[in-house]
Structure 1
C-alpha cells in the first residue's frame, strides 16, 4: 500500500516506521514547507498535521479520490464540510480523536460505565487529561470524545474547562514533559469513588491504529470511525 503522509513531526515519523514494518511504502511526506503535492501514487492519505492544516489536507485528498485517515484534533468546526466533500466525491474518510486500539476499547468502557452511573445522582463525574507540553489543543480530542460518551448516557449536557455547573463535566488539562497521553474519569460521592484510567506508554499505539485503519479503508466508500475498523 502506498501512503501519503501529511505531517512529518514526531507522530509522522513513528507512523512511517510502523507502516514500513508492515510492508507499506511512504510515497509522499507533506509538511509545512511542502509547496507541491503529488497524489498520483497514493493509495491512502494519513493526516497527523496541525489544526490549521488538517482541513486543507483532508479536502484536497478527498477531491483527488484518495481515502483519508485523520488523527489531527482541533479542526472539528469544519468536520461537517469534510463529510460533505467525502459524500460528494463518493470517497472514504475516517477521523478519530485517538487511533490507539486500547483507547477505543476505553471509549466503549467509558460509555458502559456512564450508562450504569446515570441514575446514581450521588456521584459527580470529573475528568483529567495529561499530555506532553507540545500538544497544541486542550482539552484533548480524546477527552472530548470521552465527555461525549458520558453525555450520551447521562443527564450531563456539556463539558467545561472551567468551573462546572451541576449539569457540566469538568475537564482538567495538564501539559508536562513528554507524556504521550493519560485520561482519568472519576465518579465521586461522599462515601466513595469509582475511577477508570487509560495510560499510553508511547506513541506507537496511536501510529499502529492509524495504519490499521488505512489498511481497512482502502477500497471502501463512506464516512467511518474506529468502531467500524475494530468491529466494536
Structure 2
C-alpha cells in the first residue's frame, strides 16, 4: 500500500517506521513547507498535521479521490462540514481523536461507566488529561470525546477548563515534558471516589492504530470511525 503522510512531525515519522516495517511504502511527505501535493501514486492518506492545515489536507485528498484518515485534533468545529464534503465527493474519510486500540476500548469502558453513574448524582465526574508540551490543542481530542460521552447521559451541557462551573464538566488539562498521553476519569462523592485511567507509554500505539485503519479503509467508500475498524461498540 502506498501511503501519503500529511504531516511529518513525530507522529508522521512513527507512522512511517511502522508502515515500512509492514511492507508499505511512503508516496508523499507533506510538511508545513510543502506547496504541491501529488496524490497520483497514493492509495491512502494519513493526516497528522496541525489544526490550521487539517481541513485543507483532507479536502485535497478527497479531491484527488484518495481515502483519508485524520488524527489531527483542534479543528472539529468543521468536522460536519468535512463529512458532508466527503459525501459530495463520494469519497472515503475516517476521523479518530485517538487511534490507539487501548484508548478505543477505554472509550467503551467510559460509556458503560457513565451510563451506570448517571443514576447516582451524588458522584461528580471530572477528567484529567496530561500530554507533552508540544501538543498544540488543550484539552486533547481524546479528553473531549470522553467528556462528550459523559455529557450525553448527565446533567452537564458542556465541558469546561474552569473548576466550579455548575453546567460544565471539568477537564484538567496538563502539559509537561515527555508524556505521550494520560487520561483519567474520576467520580467523586463525599464518601469515596471511583476512577478509570488510560496511560500511553509511547506513540507506537497511536501510529500502529493509524496504519491498521489505513489498511482497513483502502478500497472502501463512506465515512467511518475506529469503531468500524475494530468492530467494537
Same fold (TM over 0.5): yes
Aligned to 1:111: 111
Whole-angstrom CA distance in 2 between matches of 1:228 and 1:173: 29
- Offset from partner CA, 1:128-175 (integer Å, 9 cap, x none): 000000100000000000001111222222110113333321000110
1:68-117 CA deviation, whole Å, 9 max, x = no partner?
01000011121122111110111110011100010000000001000000
TM-score if structure 1 supplies the norm length? 0.98
Secondary structure at the counterpart of residue 81 of structure 2: helix
Indicate the residue corresponding to 1:131 in structure 2: 131
C-alpha distance in 2 between matches for 1:227 and 1:155:
26
Segment drifting more, 74-83 vs 61-70: 74-83
Number of aligned pairs? Answer: 232
1:25 is matched with 25
Could you tell me which runs of 5 or more consecutive residues in structure 1 were left unpaired when the two chains were aligned: none
| 2:46 alignment partner, SS class | strand
**Most deviating of 206-215 and 73-82:** 73-82
1:16 aligned counterpart, secondary structure: helix
Q: Does residue 79 of the first structure (1) align with residue 79 of the second (2)?
A: yes
CA distance in 1 between partners of 2:45 and 2:51 (Å) = 16
Q: CA RMSD in A?
A: 0.8
Gaps of 5+ in 2: none
Kindly provide the CA deviation profile for residues 14-58 of structure 1, in whole angstroms up to 9, marking residues without a partner as x.
000011111111011011111211110100000000111100000
Q: State which drifts further: 36-45 or 78-87.
A: 78-87
Structure 1 residue aligned with 2:9: 9
Q: Distance in 2 between matches of 1:133 and 1:87?
A: 36
**CA distance in 2 between partners of 1:231 and 1:6 (Å):** 26
Partner of 1:208 in structure 2?
Answer: 208
Q: Which residue in 2 is equivalent to 1:223? A: 223
